[in-house]
Amino acid sequence: MEVMMGKHPGDLIGRLTSLEELDGLLEDIIDKHPATPTSNKEQDIIQLIIISKRCVQASPEDAPTMQQVYRTLTGAY
């Protein structure tokens, strides 16, 4: 999240509890230094945010393994 935002996410991760909450927050989340993504890249960014949130669970047992993350990102279910 920090890489995507260009700064520490603070409590933003805790606030993102549903996909609906991402609506309207995309431009706040993404670092303003690079160009804002085109609409065809927004879905990829949303997927990365969802995966990032799953990776920072309070209990490590609830977080996906890196193999699961890799499979999700590459579409190799």
pLDDT of residue 3: 60
pLDDT of residue 67: 93
The region that residue 75 occupies, defined by phi over 0 for left and psi between -120 and 50 for alpha, beta otherwise, is left
For residue 65, pLDDT beyond 90: yes
> CB-hemisphere CA count at 13 Å for 8?
2
Write the pLDDT tens digit of every residue in 36-54. Answer: 666 767 778 888 888 888 8
